[in-house]
Chains A and B, each alone.
Chain A
Amino acid sequence: MALLSIGRAINKALGDALEADPTVILLGEDIASAGGSFGATRALQERFGAHRVIDTPISEAAIAGAAVGAAMCGLKPIVEIMFMDFTTLVMDAIVNQAAKAHFMFGGQCSVPLVLRTPHGGGLSAGPQHSQCLEAWFAHVPGLKVVVPSDSWSAYGLLRSAIDDPDPVIFVEHKGLYARKSELPDDAGSLPLGKAAVVRAGADVTIVAYGAAVHLATAAADALADRGIQAEVIDLRTIQPWDEATVLASLARTHRLVIAHEAVEAFGVGAEIAARMADIGFDELDAPIVRVGAPFMPVPFSPSLERLYQPTEKRIFAAVSRVME
């Protein structure tokens, strides 16, 4: 068992996948000697060669489109898009081509590609380098969307995403890359679509993913001091999301708060709330409350960004509301 940063865990997953499967290739901007903007591909080109770890020009649309064609023809491409904001430039390849191919061509082919990209604020990166756009992709039939929260889930989910026959959007949080947590030496893959109960509790369920899992856990610690036992669920995969685990928890706690860094309106939390209000209606003792970003672009100034980002305190307040 080693303490490893999420960035290193992703690097290890990529290296292990390249080692295990000769059809895996990496495509991205500055992923070779530069090692990627956040170091996730560090030293991989030296290890596996320029024909497998391919440094590309700044051509997001073509890289993603090429990944679709390559995936249809026998490769397992892993594309790095430097910031999730830049995925606006890959939308045709991902939404119209990759997501549709298996269905649209009558099941003739699969598109086993992974698109890795960092989301999230906290770095004063401004409105075009900070967004959490995962709900866009989760809205598209044919795509899978994964958001790990720690080193083990980053490693295990990325290995599964690479092995998965369908296109997977793998979202990493910029603020978590350096965060260290345990990664067993013999860690294998973790199943997509399966949430993890990261803290057990009987009074309220907090569903979160990515960086918000840590806010939720911190809020749960503070709530425990007040005698409220919160159960925290790390969704891990938001498409398909683990409805059964959330419903089972709700059936125990009868109260639900959903937290994510993405803009609250029309977000992942809205989908979970709507489903639970439907299939979990009889279990609910209080309204479902969401905690997300306000409906505005991510601001640059640190003082503004601090007010923009969801916090442990806001989750605490939301739980207090549903406990009234």
Chain B
Amino acid sequence: MSFAEEAVQPKKAASSADVAELLQWYANLLMIRRAEERLISLFADGEIPGFIHLGIGQEAMSVGIMSALTPADTIASTHRGHGHALAKGVSARAFFAELMGKETGLCRGRGGSMHVADMSIGMLGANGIVGAGISVALGSALAHKSLRRDAIAVAFFGDGALAEGILHECLNLSALMKLPLLFVCESNGWSEFSPTTKQIAFSLEKLAAAHAIPYARIDGNDVVAVSTMARESVAPIRTGNGPRIIECTTCRVRGHHEGDSQKYRSVAELSSLSAHDPIRLAVDRLAEAAVSNDELERIAEKIDAEIEGAIAAAQSAAPPDFARAIADVYTARGV
């Protein structure tokens, strides 16, 4: 369901969010937003090959969920994974270089936007296949449990993936095996180019109940609400109580991919989105906490400088090396 159909009221400031933390979240939100805004212009200028799927308007879920995770925790992401990657902590330089197809990219220019990953910080990859990351996260959770690591896994997926069979298999398996796995559904109301209401005959809440998996539905655009629920959910997962599901209601501002003109969406819906903007909500909270505009400006300037530096470095970086790429088809080629 989308915001146009159901207005979700932001909760008032949660007590756990102190100002320093809120400022950090604001910076993280803005980093994702500004990075994606720059991707819009770079894509239009032909500097980003292929397809990109932007998560503008969906940043609070990445930042809020990641606020409850440690570097040892792992996440598996979706085709709309820039926010997850940046919030988990990938380097902006390697991120932009990857999207521009350069050797200095996260994946040496072999994956692009749909495969940004950084194993060293537990980012197991964006994914080009709807729902596929869910089972990867399930396996990661199995490894954490099996190797007795103090870590959990998070499976991000969109509401479009509710229609995928793999989700049902993974809900059952994770509940059966009591795996340390958090399911995060980013419900933006759209299954690619079609409204989810016309695609799905059930609710995730009832599906969760069928598997006896604790479920919560929150405003996915309110970073404080997301963080609060993430921490509340992650704690019992860490202590071995099995999986949980958070459904985050959010809105997709851009098209399914850049270049999608969204003619299938109403003007009324599109124009209503800014009222629920996660960054605007965060700024409102910071204003309530008496944080000055100047301070927010300084944060923005720092972020912009980092992004511009990353873009400039990516633009001048070398293209990937073909011999090195083909040598990496296998870890050990054998005979």
Task: Give me the interface of A with B, judged by CB distance under 8 Å.
Answer: 23, 25, 51-52, 54, 56-57, 59, 61-75, 77, 92-93, 96-97, 101-110, 141-142, 144, 164-166, 191-194, 237, 240, 242, 244
Q: In the complex the two chains form, is A59's CB within 8 Å of B173's CB?
A: yes
Q: In the complex the two chains form, is B76's CB within 8 Å of A69's CB?
A: yes
Contacts of B76 in A (CB 8 A): 69
Given A66-B139, A108-B107, 19 more pairs with CB closer than 8 A: A61-B165, A64-B135, A65-B138, A66-B135, A68-B135, A68-B136, A69-B76, A69-B138, A93-B132, A93-B135, A103-B328, A104-B111, A104-B125, A106-B105, A106-B110, A107-B328, A141-B329, A144-B330, A191-B335
Q: In the complex the two chains form, is B140's CB within 8 Å of A69's CB?
A: yes
Q: In the complex the two chains form, is A66's CB within 8 Å of B335's CB?
A: no
Say if the beta carbon of B115 comes within 8 Å of chain A: yes
Q: In the complex the two chains form, is A65's CB within 8 Å of B147's CB?
A: no
Docked Cα-Cα span, A92 to B129, in Å, equals 8
Contacts of A101 in B (CB 8 A): 125
Report the nearest A residue to B332, measured CB to CB.
Answer: A165
Report the nearest A residue to B135, measured CB to CB.
Answer: A65
Task: Give me the interface of B with A, judged by CB distance under 8 Å.
Answer: 74, 76, 105-111, 115, 117-120, 124-125, 127-129, 132, 134-144, 146-147, 153, 165-166, 169-170, 172-173, 176-177, 325, 328-335
Given A51-B146, A57-B173, A92-B129, CB of A71 within 8 Å of CB of B139: yes
Given A105-B115, A191-B335, CB of A70 within 8 Å of CB of B325: no
Contacts of A23 in B (CB 8 A): 147
- Inter-chain CB contacts under 8 Å: number: 162
Given A61-B165, A66-B138, A108-B107, CB of A191 within 8 Å of CB of B334: yes
Contacts of A191 in B (CB 8 A): 334-335
Contacts of B332 in A (CB 8 A): 164-166
Which one of A69, A110, A244 contacts B136 once the chains associate, using CB atoms below 8 Å?
A69
Given A62-B135, A75-B147, A193-B335, CB of A69 within 8 Å of CB of B328: no
Given A62-B166, A92-B129, A102-B328, CB of A70 within 8 Å of CB of B176: no
Would you give the shortest CB distance from B92 to chain A, in whole angstroms?
17
Contacts of B134 in A (CB 8 A): 65
Q: In the complex the two chains form, is B132's CB within 8 Å of A96's CB?
A: yes
Would you give the shortest CB distance from A107 to chain B, in whole angstroms?
5
Contacts of B166 in A (CB 8 A): 61-62, 65, 92
Docked Cα-Cα span, A52 to B147, in Å, equals 11
Report the nearest B residue to A144, measured CB to CB.
Answer: B334
Contacts of B128 in A (CB 8 A): 96
